[in-house]
Chain A
């Protein structure tokens, strides 16, 4: 994954240790703050000793001060929903109590159900101790005695090794997540911990008020916790010293799809998509579009890859940074055919609980498949729009909403393909 062509503001993840900023004294407990955009992967190896050498000891957490620094940092969740981290911590703490039934639970979520994403696995296998630091610090801040690390099977061994190295993490329970798209949704995570079943559940209040066994429950993505561990050490001002004012700090991005060198990057917030694609070896001329934010995200046509990887920059495409996924689509590909495959996958990933999702997503995917397959029927786009609207807002999780958003984005970004198909042609396979 070593890169010679580093994008402005981008830090490629080379071999362990190669991106360490020179000049930082390696004194345990008194290391300097990392400079530049290489922050999360500075440890020379995955051992606790290397982690401590790179980042110093686990700081003692004063709850008020940590929550305050998180607020000032504007760190938002990196699992997809981008909820302000300080608000979740503050809410969990507010709803907690000393009675047994009110003691909070904290869960580090590294289940990474999004099949395109590799960033959480990369983090767990390369910098597990930063995640564990964040879990311990968040738990201390909300007063939680119960800690869980919920990771995908491909990250479980690394997580186990790291936990076994740490006397301060003996009370952390490791749970392996099934390989399913919705298994990482926060209520599904709570269900997995409580009942061993990773499907979303009905909820009318936030998990921070009533989650696992009705106790206040904090679920944070593993990258979020790693960033939290750095903010606890080096502060909000340091965090905001890279990135843009609306997308401060660094974030992990998985660049995948039709690129010569798929990879995970740590980049400054707000970096233009074109630079992320270049880091993976793809020029905009070779692409038709980029799916941003994963399978629940939106397509950005290739002519717009100058857009920043930010909430504001992506809104007009119905996309958001989400869990940090970019999937490139080659210029030689039919946008409708590629999207129909994804819609089929999403329809199959329903947890099977909610009627509108169970029935609506296969119907929606089926109409898109007909359009992609060359059915000449002018009513198809309107039927897709009707079904997308029909499923939206009608499930216990946002899987129908995300799927509808993706399919609608397909019609917008590939309007030329839709028109061609409705005339019995195809833009890329005339």
Chain B
């Protein structure tokens, strides 16, 4: 959990990630977003498909060269890492857990080799014995048996595969984990198991998470702070409880009003709230403004008062 005055581990400044630049089909997948992530916290990123949340995650792990803007990890600009050793360190520090546990594990590799791939590349094991030992430790950490090391991915259920993916991410002792929809492909009862495991690992290993998801109830449960994205822009950032108690941006409101709740009485009285996205493109200059402490919303100069009023209600 987030401690008071925790240092920043990640700073994203004015990140733009465009594809097909200069062509007719140019896509502004991420359009000038800025946010910080503090050491030890879980930062949730929510938004619809196409909102740019996955692209943001990929840009942070430097799978793309940003069109503009800076990504500063642990005090260093990610784009300016030149030495091989620095780059390798960075790639171990940031690890990703992927959405689809069926597609993200090589079906021809044994679990031991999948988990140990990072160990091999970074030469983290002294000898074969040590490598085996490390893998077994990792498997037990994520709630699997060491006997599982000699099996192939197809012998596991979805939840178990996701555990293998988590073990692989932990193998290189990362500081920061990008979890991109890590539970969306799993059954409800298994989702809770994996979320509990992620929380437990965070506590034990002092990890920082960027948790990307579209399931708003789960995001609220796991995150300390949440950023809401839409059309490549960051519309609102606040502490998880605050965001759900006092959503300021119309888009956040519409998103929250659409979450199905397992409570028939609530559902019968549900009021849907529609959002008109064209408002965002009226040409006004908007940026993230801190309306209340730690609560930011994307607003133009003349909207600030309106949002302050909204918060008072």
Query: Do A and B associate with each other?
Result: no
Binding site for A on B (CB under 8 A): none
